[in-house]
Amino acid sequence: MSHKLLVETPDFGSFTYIKEEKNLRDGKGPRMYIEGPFMMANEVNKNRRLYDLTEMVSEVKRYSDEMIKSGRALGELNHPTTVDIDLSRACHSVQNLRQEGNYFVGKSLVLNTPMGKIVQTLIDDGVTPGVSTRCLGQLEPDSIKEDVNRVKNMKLVAIDVVVVGCTVVVMAIEVVVVGATVVVVVIGA
């Protein structure tokens, strides 16, 4: 069974944007952070998907240990159609994820990269971006709710910065591993 690239978008109403007045740590000037609910489990999300809390706890621990602690938890500006992180599109670095009930609240440092500068300018100008997860996983129809899919074998790839209007965009992308090469085929949007 192949995995699908899944993107999820939480409610943007509960994000906080923190801009330091002064950076005392390294003297490089003030930094900006995005903080809020990055992930949700055991509740049907806007994309009509349901993530198991136990599986998400395990995956967040893996992501934290492998990516956040090593400073490699980068996210891009908008979702790409690939599982690879494009360093030229990196705009933030996830600093931490902590569980609060069914939610995982995160804090990200907005980077001083070209894409990070766009995020900073958008926030300074009153735009309200949020974050959206990019995961690999398998979708199984829920046995109780007809229009809901359960996500199994979740693997968190990245958490990207996005701005979504009234309509949530869902990308379904087939990911097939061929030897050491990952082939991505867009199957719907």
Report yes or no: 52 and 128 within 8 Å, Cβ to Cβ.
no
DSSP bridge pairs for 177: 182
User: Of 64, 93, 108, 132, which residue is the catalytic one?
Assistant: 132
Cα–Cα dist 160/74, whole Å: 8
Residue of 64, 79, 92, 93 marked catalytic: 79
Question: What SS3 class is residue 134?
Answer: strand
The CA distance from 9 to 163, in Å, is: 9
Rounded Cα distance between 101 and 5, Å, is: 25
Contacts of 29 (CB under 8 A, 6+ apart): 23
Is 132 tagged catalytic? yes
C-alpha count within 13 angstroms, C-beta hemisphere, residue 150: 12
Catalytic residue check, 79: yes
d(CA 61, CA 138): 20
Q: How far apart (Å, rounded) are the C-alpha atoms in residues 148 and 171? A: 16
Catalytic residues: 79, 132
